[in-house]
Amino acid sequence: MRVQQRPIRALSMWVRRQPPKVKAFLGVVSGMAALVLLRFIVHDHDNLFVAAEAVHSIGISVLIYKLIKEKTCAVNRIFWAFCVYLEAVSVLPQLRVMQNTKIVEPFTAHYVFALGVARFLSCAHWVLQVLDSRGHLLVALGYGLWPSMVLISEIVQTFILADFCYYYIKSVFGGQLVLRLPSGVV
C-alpha cells in the first residue's frame, strides 16, 4: 500500500520537477491570481501600492533564488540594463503633463533641468569611457547587444531632456520665474 503524501509536499515536488520556463509561467500566474484575489478582498483599491509590493516581493524572491541555487546574482546586468532603459523613458509622463499645461512651475522646472544636466553628464561619461578604452569597455561589460543598447538609451534620454533644457535656459536668461512652453514643445 502506498503512503499518502501531504498535498503541499506533493505540489512542491511536482513544481520542482518542472522545467524553468514552466516554473516562471507558474510564478507569473500565481502572482496575477494573488493580485486578482487582493483586488476582491481589499476594499481600499490602491492598486499602485499592491503592485509595488508585488514587484518588491518578486525581486527579492529572484535574488534569494539566485543566491541559494547559483551562489551568484549574475542577473544583475540584465536588471541594470532594464533600469537604464526604464530611466530613459520615465521622464516622459512628466514632460507630457508640462506639454499639456504649457506652464511649468519653478520647482518642477529646476528639477527637470537638474535631471537633464545629470543625464547629459552621465551620457558624456559613458561616451568618454568608451572612447578612452577604444571600445574595450563595451566588451568588458559583457557580450551581446545590451552594452551598446545601454549607451544608446543614455543618448536617447539626453536628447529627450535637451529640448526642455533649452527652453529652461532661455527662460532663466530672460528673467522669467515661470517657464512658459510654446505649443508642440517637449
**What residue spans define the domains of the chain?**
7-74, 77-180
Q: pTM above the 0.75 mark?
A: no
Which pLDDT score, from 0 to 100, does residue 184 have? 59
Q: Is 27 exposed, middle or buried (0-12, 13-18, 19+ CB in 10 A)?
A: middle
Q: What is the C-alpha separation between 160 and 89, in angstroms, rounded?
A: 9
Residue 104 CB neighbour total at 10 angstroms = 26
Which pLDDT score, from 0 to 100, does residue 18 have? 87
Which pLDDT score, from 0 to 100, does residue 166 have? 80
Q: What is the C-alpha separation between 144 and 80, in angstroms, rounded?
A: 15
Which pLDDT score, from 0 to 100, does residue 168 have? 80
Which residues does the chain have with pLDDT short of 70? 1-5, 42-51, 72-77, 135, 137-147, 180-186
